[in-house]
Amino acid sequence: MRPWAGSWRWITLVLLAWGTLLFYIGGHLVRDSDHPERSSRELSKILAKLERLKQQNEDLRRMAESLSIHPSWLGLHQQNLKQDDDPKHTSNHAGTTIPEGQAEAGSLAAGRLRSLEDQLTIAKQKIHSFQKLTGDGPGPNQEELRRRVENGVKEFWYFVRSEVKKLATVEPSERQKYADTLLQDLGHQERSIMTNLYYLSQADGVGEWRMKEAKDLSDLVQNRITYLQNPPDCSKARKLVCNINKGCGYGCQLHHVVYCFMIAYGTQRTLILESHNWRYAPGGWETVFLPVSNTCTDRSGATTGHWSGEAHDKDVQVVELPIVDSLHPRPPYLPLAIPEDLAPRLHRLHGDPSVWWVSQFVKYLVRPQAWLEKEIQQTTAKLGFKHPIIGVHVRRTDKVGTEAAFHPIEEYMLHVEEQFQHLARRVHVDKKRVYLATDDPSLLQEAKTKYPDYEFISDNSISWSAGLHNRYTENSLRGVILDIHFLSQTDFLVCTFSSQVCRVAYEIMQMLHPDASSFFYSLDDIYYFGGQNAHNQIAIYPHQPRNSEDIPLEPGDVIGVAGNHWDGYSKGINRKLGRTGLYPSYKVKEKIETVKYPTYPEADKLLNSQKK
């Protein structure tokens, strides 16, 4: 039996070598994605090697099958027939008895061969997809869809130009009907173009790349945060103390902790979250969410002081941070800035890198305790929450009349219907479901009465608990957490960004998709983070004012954004001219600020070692 025992060792070595090569290919695809020409040449070589390995696989398979009937065993056939009942022996289907160890080895090797052959097929598919994305240019689906979008835009313009010219000849009594029909037709064409753009974003492996890149980036950041929050010696760690009890609601308090976390991350200090006697839950943050640290929750240290700036506090072990409204001096780590080392990848991946960066800290903070996770699962089943579904958040109490205007349900539902028409181009819409979150308990019945064709999913007990008289209770906290969870899980969000609850739901939505930056419609503000640094845009096209409300633009001008009017125009200040007014939204692009955040190389090494 020794020759065959040696053969098994040889087969095992070949299997290990093959597995190593497949692992190498996966790493190779990631490492060389920035060098497409070189990658394409090398991948062609790898494909040739894989084909040779496939042939070897067939040889190994035949060898594994032949082991069960090798002549060296046939001489034992008669003896084995007498030993059928011996537990130390195992009979094959042909009646030939094979020593148990050899039979198990043959079965195991054959199983490994089949598994590795499956991996080979998958690897080849990914390589071909990667080659389409790099050395071989865009894939056929990309080009077909690009041309379809291009044609759609041209036809859209031809149609608009023709119909607007006809408008002058329409009788005054018929103009409203004409306008309604025109808007309907324009909507059909716009949805066609947007549907093609969606499929273009998924074509020829781009969707898979986006999913992987989003996961890799999030894993990288979450690993760095975990490393920062769990120092080897808490007594020697540099700390930043943040008290959760800012005088505002849950969404505002969560954003307060996010702001603290960003500065802790930027200054390389472990965040110490003080949440005892929290207004929502006297037992503290950890009774609802997982602790922000497993090893360091003690604020003690050799020296303590209030925030005086990163450079000034370099020799202070424990620094207490005020609310953002009182922060001075202001560090560069505040939103809407993003880390310099991640900026190239984020620009490529996400439509709003600033929101993605905020969402990573929200993601770490709102990891639920087991009881909350169970509550979410039970409520999901109880409500019958399923897709497709659109989320609507209507704020009616403390914001209305102060920070926000009153918006009737009809304003929200206009955009809900529009989005269902978009979804119907891509998925089967069996029912038009709406998750309704509101602090007005009477709104659910109003919505059901006015829109009987929709299925409204809502928990009115949450609406009652969201009222001002019940605001700071554990039941209210449960309600707002559930509302935010379900809003973030929807396919599209219609709300007012003046509400922190809506903005938190939008931030969490970014964790669930590679790029959910466009999955919303706000009836008032654009996205912002309370206490953020200036939000700027850069002019990419010139603009000559046509009336006193417009401001001029020249390419390169920096515009401080005040808001988007959602009518094709935005409002802001041309910082070069010092003039405030309106300008066409399409004539600018976002100016994303980057900051030299620490990169935590030790954490990255740990992450890379875990992947090997």
CATH number of the CATH domain containing 403: 3.40.50.11350
Instruction: Give yes or no: residues 512 and 378 share one domain.
Output: yes
| Distances in whole angstroms, Cα of residue 550 to Cα of each of 139, 462, 553 | 43, 44, 10
The whole-number pLDDT of residue 77 equals 42
Instruction: Give yes or no: residues 176 and 280 share one domain.
Output: no
Residue 453 lies inside a defined structural domain of this protein: yes
Place of tokens 């918006």: 407
The answer for 266, left when phi > 0, alpha when psi is -120 to 50, beta otherwise, is: alpha
Instruction: Give yes or no: residues 232 and 321 share one domain.
Output: yes
Query: Domain of 185: which CATH number?
Result: 1.10.287.1060
The whole-number pLDDT of residue 203 equals 92
Residue 94 lies inside a defined structural domain of this protein: no
Place of tokens 């990631």: 30
The answer for 265, left when phi > 0, alpha when psi is -120 to 50, beta otherwise, is: alpha
Strand-pair partners of 433: 389, 455
Instruction: Give yes or no: residues 428 and 375 share one domain.
Output: yes
Instruction: Give yes or no: residues 512 and 581 share one domain.
Output: no
Instruction: Give yes or no: residues 270 and 154 share one domain.
Output: no
Residue 229 lies inside a defined structural domain of this protein: yes
Place of tokens 């835009």: 153
Give the list of residues 6+ apart from residue 173 with CB closer than 8 angstroms, or none. Answer: none
The whole-number pLDDT of residue 118 equals 61
The whole-number pLDDT of residue 25 equals 46
Strand-pair partners of 27: none
Residue 388 lies inside a defined structural domain of this protein: yes
Q: What are phi and psi of 241, to 5 degrees?
A: -95, 130
Instruction: Give yes or no: residues 158 and 272 share one domain.
Output: no
| Distances in whole angstroms, Cα of residue 193 to Cα of each of 88, 146, 150, 164, 187 | 70, 10, 9, 20, 10
Question: Following DSSP, what letter does each residue of 181-213 receive, concatenated?
Answer: HHHHHHHHHHHHHHHHHHHHHHGGGHHHHHHHH
Residue 528 lies inside a defined structural domain of this protein: no
Q: Where are the beta strands (DSSP E) in 226-291?
A: 239-243, 270-274
Give the list of residues 6+ apart from residue 264 with CB closer than 8 angstroms, or none. Answer: 228, 240, 242, 270, 271
Instruction: Give yes or no: residues 192 and 254 share one domain.
Output: no
Q: Determine which helix (DSSP H) or strand (DSSP E) holds 392, and give its type and residue range.
A: strand 389-394
Domain boundary, last residue among 160, 176, 208: 208
Residue 598 lies inside a defined structural domain of this protein: no
Report the number of distinct structural domains present in the chain: 4
CA-based nearest residue to 390, from 356, 408, 413, 359 = 413
Instruction: Give yes or no: residues 332 and 231 share one domain.
Output: yes
Question: How many angstroms separate the CA atoms of 158 and 166, rounded?
Answer: 13
Q: How would you class 516 by CB atoms within 10 Å of its CB: exposed for 0-12, middle for 13-18, buried for 19 or more?
A: buried
CA Rg value for the chain:
31
| Ranges of the chain with pLDDT below 70 | 1-136, 398-404, 465-471, 611-612
Residue 130 lies inside a defined structural domain of this protein: no
Give the list of residues 6+ apart from residue 442 with CB closer than 8 angstroms, or none. Answer: none
At 111 the three-state DSSP class reads: helix
The whole-number pLDDT of residue 600 equals 97
Domain boundary, last residue among 522, 554, 570: 522
Taken as a whole, the chain contains a residue count of 612
Instruction: Give yes or no: residues 269 and 335 share one domain.
Output: yes
In terms of residue numbers, what domain contains 425?
368-522
Residue 485 lies inside a defined structural domain of this protein: yes
Domain boundary, last residue among 320, 350, 380: 350
Instruction: Give yes or no: residues 262 and 402 share one domain.
Output: no
The whole-number pLDDT of residue 592 equals 96
Check the CA dihedral 77-82-88-89 and report its sign: positive
User: For the stretch 381-402, what's the b/e string if a residue is b when 16 or more beta carbons lie within 10 angstroms of its beta carbon?
Assistant: eeeebeebbbbbbbbbeebbee
Instruction: Give yes or no: residues 581 and 500 share one domain.
Output: no
Token pair for 487:
């809003």
Strand-pair partners of 270: 239
Q: Give pTM, 2 decimals.
A: 0.78
Query: Domain of 582: which CATH number?
Result: 2.30.30.40
The pLDDT tens digits of the residues spanning 267-285 come to: 999 999 999 999 999 999 9
Q: What are phi and psi of 318, to 5 degrees?
A: -120, 120
496 within 8 A of 393, measured Cβ to Cβ: yes
